Structure 1
Amino acid sequence: MVNLNVKLPGLKLKNPVMPASGTFGFGDVAAAQKYDLNKLGALVIKTTTPNKRVGNPQPQIAVLDDGVLNSVGLTNPGVEQVINEKLVALKKLYPNLPIIASVGAEDEAGYLTVTNQLSRARLVDALEINLSCPNVAQGGMTFGVHPKMVARITSAIKQKVKLPIYIKLTPNVTNIQEIARAAEDGGADGLVLINTVMGMRIDIASRKPLLGNNIGGYSGRGIKPIALYLVHQVRVATQLPIIGMGGIETASDVVEFMLAGANAVEVGSAHFHNPLVCPEIIQALPRVLDDLGVSDINDLVGQVKFN
């Protein structure tokens, strides 16, 4: 019998697989209606901000052969509605499913507002602090590239809330190890990486970018080698638990990320091509591990053997 259980701060996961923030809404999108979400290790909800956001100009998403470009801009109804409507409904349907709330804001005060309200509501098990969103004019991207700012915001949140906090890191930096250590110094309980890589595609007939906001975050299988490299770089720089992401589509991809140093994973862009990708990965994992002679998935973490 292969063990898929993973324990992280604040989270007891029956397996290491969860949908990434933004791909499953608040458990209320069409894909979430296709199977029992209790099969998941956890669910990461769409990023929540202090107030309602309508997001960036349309089109916000371009699905490509090798990934997805998005410039959604953190569209969400604001923290009060998320708590009173979205999370209450989700918790009623899935009272035992671990839930991670993704948090975004334009300034430190905004991060504290959202995290405090989510913590007091007692409807989520952990907080994913999105300090690295490339699709908003202020906030995330500015914060996530400066180690001192990452440490300061992490520390400020940690002092105010009782929930475990996971800091989401951007790949759009010179030295991701420095950012990871800053989050650790600030008291982070874990890390999530990588967020999207900045990108653009152009329609040659109109000569206009595919996205209404011109540029956006690129995700999917095209960034997987980058993500694996950066997960390993962070693993050797810190002992914090890592939730890895970036181009995961199969059970073998999950194994790769764990060998690189991830303790669990999030699946994002693959949902655009297959809404059942998470349960299919979870179902395939025992067979893949058995073929590899692995009886406990946790034994894979950081066990890459370099040439």
Structure 2
Amino acid sequence: MSEHAVDQDVTSGTAATGGAAAPARSGRPAQSGGPTRRGRPSLTTRLTRLADALWRPALVLVAIFAAWWFVADREYIANYLIPTPGQVWEKLTSEWDFLLENTMITLYETVLGFVLATVIGIASAVLITYSSTMERSLYPIVLFAQVIPKIAIAPLLGVLLGTGMAPKIVLAVLIAFFPVVVSGVSGLRSTDPELIDLSATMGAGPWKTFRKIRFPNALPHLMSGMKVAVTLAVTGAVVGEFVGASEGLGYVLLLASGNLDSALLFADLILMSIIGIVLFVLVEIAEALLIPWHASRRSGVPLTTA
């Protein structure tokens, strides 16, 4: 029975009983979370999954915070090296405007670098997959570029591109580019050849085959690479700010280290971590929306509980 027919049956049952929905014909008991669409968990189930996914890392964070507070409060390590949580909070609140301004700069560099790395990486993966010439020419260069320590070329980028945002964005692209390319190539090549042959026999051209078969099949691999890339983009932006920058969280980190301001340093590290976690969760949500049908979204308990 189609979903439209089921909806009609429910509507007719409601009218016949004066507003109360008729019982389901399948005989299965109703879930405690209320009616759900086919294949979609109820709100109660999703909240339960979310709680189950979060309590363990929350417990670990509480244990780390307690150990940090205990060591710093008792001064087993000097406070100019390990500040107390109270000192870090005081620094966050007193320097909030300064920290927020620099956080927004690093966030902008990270997001732009990640977007460019994703676009260039997907385009490169398509070229490598569809052209053996491009594979032999481009893939070794991509691998060679990856093994070069990015912090070693940061001063060179500063000399070539100046001290603005450009070298930071380029460094974020260089660091985040490789996981997107590798995962894209792996995903595009994982399509069943028989499925591609079948689409060709049914008259589908290369573009339609790519749009309907190859790219959707590559999305699970590609999203995994993007989750790695978005966290690396934060690292790239911060490393770029180490060289010739006067703004951004990387600059604040150097400033705090030079002044032995451990409270500012810890506050800066916390803000960097928040940027990485938020961007990772956003990519996770995008994955849940784009490939809800994939087995990776049904097995385990992802962050989005979708």
Q: Same fold (TM over 0.5)?
A: no
Query: Please, what TM-score do these two structures have when normalized by structure 1?
Result: 0.23
Q: Identify the structure with the greater strand proportion.
A: 1
Identify the structure with the greater helix proportion. Answer: 2
Structure with higher Rg: it is 2
Q: Which has the higher contact order (CA 8 A, sep 6+)?
A: 2
